[in-house]
Structure 1
C-alpha cells in the first residue's frame, strides 16, 4: 500500500493559482450556504450572511483579476497577499468542516515572493538600526 503524495504547500502568494482561489471560494460558498439554510431568509443574521457572500465573491473576483497580470506592480503584489489572507481568514473558522485542507488551501502567506520577503527583512533591519542609532547606541552584529 502506498501513501498518497503530500499536497503542494504554498509559501508565497506568487505560487497561487486561479484554481486555488476558485477552490477556497467554492468551499466558502458551500459552508456559508449551509449556515444560510439554517438561518433562513429573514433577520439580521441573514443580512450578515448575504454580506459575507458578497465579500467572498468580491475578494475572489479581485484575486482572479490580479492573478491574470503577468508582472504585477508593487501595490498589486501587496493586494494579492492581502486578498488571499482575507479569504484564508474567512475560511479558517470552518476548519472543523469536512473538506478542509489546511496545508494547501488556507496556508498563510506573508510575502508575494522571495524578493518581496528579502526587501521586507532589509526594511526591518534598516528600521531597527535607525532606532538603535536614534537612542545613541551603535547596533551590534
Structure 2
C-alpha cells in the first residue's frame, strides 16, 4: 500500500497551521481512545491513559493559543517548537497504524523559522570557536 503524496512539508514551526495541530490532536485522540477502550475504566493503567489524554489536549490547546499570536515573543516561539515536538513524539509511537502519514503532520521542527535556525547555528559555532569558558584561556 502506498501513501498518496503529502500536501506540504513542515520545515519550521512558523509553518504550522491550526489545521495541522487539529489533525495531529485528532489522530492522537483516536489512537489513545482505542488503547483506553482496551484498558478499561479502572486500574492504574486507566488513570495513566486519562492523564495522557489530558496532556495531549493541553499541549494542543497551548499550541492553538500560541499560533494565534501575531508576533510571538522568543519564549512563545520556543514553546511552539516544544509543544509540537511533544505531540509529534507522542504520535510517533503509533507509526505502525494504518493511515499514518509521516510526511504531513509529524515532521520534526527544531526551529521556529530560518532566522532562529541561523542564530542557533551561529551560537554553536561561537561556542565551538571560543569554548564554554573563554575567561579561563591563557
Task: From the superposition, tell whether residues 88 and 132 of structure 1 become closer, same or farther in structure 2 (CA, over 3 Å).
Answer: closer
| 1:40 aligned residue | 40
Gaps of 5+ in 1: none
| 1:26 aligned residue | 26
Task: From the superposition, tell whether residues 41 and 64 of structure 1 become closer, same or farther in structure 2 (CA, over 3 Å).
Answer: same
TM-score (norm 2): 0.92
Gaps of 5+ in 2: none
Aligned positions, number? 134
Q: Cα offset for 1:132?
A: 8.6
Task: From the superposition, tell whether residues 45 and 133 of structure 1 become closer, same or farther in structure 2 (CA, over 3 Å).
Answer: closer
Structural mapping, 1:1-141, within 5 Å = 5-131=5-131, 134=134
Q: Cα offset for 1:136?
A: 5.8
Dislocated runs of 4+, deviation >6 Å: none
TM-score (norm 1): 0.90
Q: Cα offset for 1:5?
A: 4.9
